[in-house]
Amino acid sequence: MELKQLRSFVAVAESLHFGRAAERLHVAQPALSVQIKALEQEIGARLLFRTTRKVSLTSTGALFLEEARETLERADEALRRARSLEQDSIQWLRIGGVDTATAGLLPKVIRDFRKKIPNVDLRISEMLTAPAIEALSNHHLDLAFVRVAPADPLLSSRHVLSEPLVALLPADHRLAQKRMVSREQMAQEPLVLPPRSARPIYYDMIREWFREAGSTLVVAQEANERHMILAIVAAGLGISILPKWVSQFRFPDVVFRPIREDPPVVHVHLVRRKSYRSNIADEFEAIIDKHL
């Protein structure tokens, strides 16, 4: 199926007249008829009813018209972007990734990047590892920050930072009076964690950490969003374990304490497509390196 065929079909479907459609496309009417016939043969369905006096859409044709319009719009947009890049008139960088990077590292990097290259359309999305890798592979992202380096041979990755987890406690909790808390002390408390379905890498890491000490992970409350976990801990319904960057927030009735034993560590890897060539992305990575 060719874009030329879709354009021919849309022109006829919108004008319901082969002559006017041919004039609109600046082609001969017989050539237009050939394009429509070839398209119908490839689809295996009739898209238009044609008589000597009238042209109308079939039910299949009416449905296909919307899909054809959307396809042509996406193709035209891709062409516009490609031409803009070639002319260097519009530049953008699409970044996605885990919260440790988007909340902890990126604000400082972005400020320096925008000072150096102010005219770039910079778009940031927070997303988990699996969706970020998928978006990168599908060309919906240019750079991705993920927890686990992908094995995809079409992607390249490098480790950029590691961050320990810390304990979150209600301010009036008995452990809040201590400078540090232990794994054994935390194992005796009700835990507040994201559900495994939402953050499987993080959940499994915590579970394995407790298992190493002979403890079974018992989750009393589940919440996916960080602010909700903070609120539940503040209400005294349990304690939690989160990346250290969360301690930057000042949340009423919640205190953060380091963990005595080697705590779990979250890692962040920067991933990009091996085929992706961009001076803008290279400059962004260079600024990241300055902050690490």
State whether 82 and 114 are in the same domain: no
- Tell me, what CATH number does 182's domain have? 3.40.190.10
- Residue 180 CA to residue 257 CA, distance in Å, equals 6
Q: Report the sign of the C-alpha dihedral through residues 100, 103, 104, 105, in that order.
A: positive
Q: Given a cut of 70, is residue 83 above it in pLDDT? A: no
d(CA 51, CA 48): 10
Domain co-membership, 281 together with 145: yes
pTM of the model: 0.64
Radius of gyration, CA atoms only, the chain? 28
Q: Do 286 and 142 share a structural domain?
A: yes
- What is the reported pLDDT for 145? 93
Q: Is the dihedral of CA 78, 25, 28, 12 positive or negative?
A: positive
pLDDT digits (tens, 9 = 90+) for 233-262: 999 999 999 988 888 777 889 999 999 878
Bridge partners (DSSP) of residue 146 are 269
Q: Domain residues for 227?
A: 164-265
The total domain count for the chain is: 3
Kindly report the average pLDDT of the chain as a whole number: 88
Specify the range with the lowest mean pLDDT, choosing from 155-159, 179-183, 250-254: 250-254
